[in-house]
Amino acid sequence: MTDRIVLAYSGGLDTSVAIGWIAEATGAEVIAVAVDVGQGGESLETVRQRALDCGAVEAYVADARDEFAEQYCMPTLRANGLYMDAYPLVSAISRPVISKHLVAAAQQFGATTVAHGCTGKGNDQVRFEVSIQTLGPDLKCIAPVRDLALTRDKAIDYATAHDLPIETTKKNPFSIDQNVWGRAVETGFLEDIWNGPTKDVYEYTDDPTFGPAPDVVTITFDQGVPVALDGETVTALQAIEQLNRRAGAQGVGRIDIVEDRLVGIKSREIYEAPGAMAMIAAHRELENITLEREQARFKKTVDQRWTELVYDGQWFSPLKANLDAFIHETQKYVSGDIRLELHGGRATVLGRRSETSLYDFNLATYDTGDTFDQSSARGFIDIYGLSAKTASQREERLHGKPDLSGAGVQK
């Protein structure tokens, strides 16, 4: 029986050429797998037919938009997932869901190998292959660009020579990856980190300099997940899509970062994630009023480690599953409404309310009705500062009193 290779197929030039390129290099039959995670563009049927026209023996297509939104974007939101405090894991969280469908297709069609279109310099090769090996330990992985010397120039020449039904052009200088959670842009003139991004870099967001009037939206959360916008019930996918439009129109979610890649190099990336950044801002604020202080402090550490694991391609790892369990438990009371103003490239919190809030007006107020027992403060301070005071007394006993005459003066 002829070997079969499953190929992660986008419908673009490189993966269309990869179908024939892989077949010629390996002698195997190629099964194209296209997964819709909200990247827009052509229909799955159009993509499926192109794969067959380019030589695939089978074409597996999956509308994974709701799956992606509910099972990948929402956990990222609950973890406030921002790598290097800026990047909302746009590409990192799409790779595991695509890998899941690649493995399912390999099992369905009897393939022994999975192929993807990543280079040897990026993070995505790791994300795909670690996920695939975790979900399908018997599967092998290859990358035509990395392992079979498929360059873009060769892809254009191959597509022309074989009259493939795909546009061949060298005009677009950027490498772009997008889904419903956001859009990632790199390469071209952006590789010079002194260059600022030009208008043609952006697609999900409008220029915030000349934006429309402020847009105020109320996001309702239930256990850390948005369930309504301005009182209208929404699914996870609908929440992201609607906030992409509304926050994007206000220029919210533009990110320009020099990023530390897993492979050890720094890379300049431009991201657009209007809905994601608006929701993370709202979710963080709701946690501020619903999480207990020590719980909130520790969750920041967990969130950071969770984000690093996901960025590094460990979505299906045991540690990530353990952290998922902790984060899930913290979201028990993260329910309520956050009112955001979207304007001028910013998502600004205007109001918060929650039936599970830990904010007590009578404890917080300085006016009549204050229920805080201020007489307790003195004893608390004495005990709280006792260890530092004791250490200071030891210093004085052994070394004398410190010279405070020049305190705060720099020479």
> Could you list the active site residues?
14, 95, 124, 175
Q: Are strands 336-343 and 215-222 parallel, antiparallel or unpaired?
A: antiparallel
Copy the structure tokens of residue 382.
């004495």
| φ, ψ dihedrals at 258, nearest 5° | -95, 115
| Annotated binding-site residue numbers for L-citrulline | 87, 123, 127, 175, 259, 271
Taking only Cα atoms into account, the Rg of the chain, rounded to an integer number of angstroms, comes to 26
Task: Please answer whether residues 279 and 243 qualify as being in contact, where contact means their C-beta atoms are separated by less than 8 angstroms.
Answer: yes
* CA–CA separation, 295 and 331 (whole Å): 11
Binding site, annotated residues for L-aspartate: 119, 123-124
* Cα–Cα distance measured from residue 331 to residue 291, given in angstroms and rounded to the nearest whole number: 8
Chain centre distance of CA 280: 11
For residue 129, what are the CA distances in angstroms to 31, 201, 231, 318, 323? 17, 29, 42, 17, 22
The Cα 245–Cα 247 span in angstroms is: 6
d(CA 34, CA 9): 5
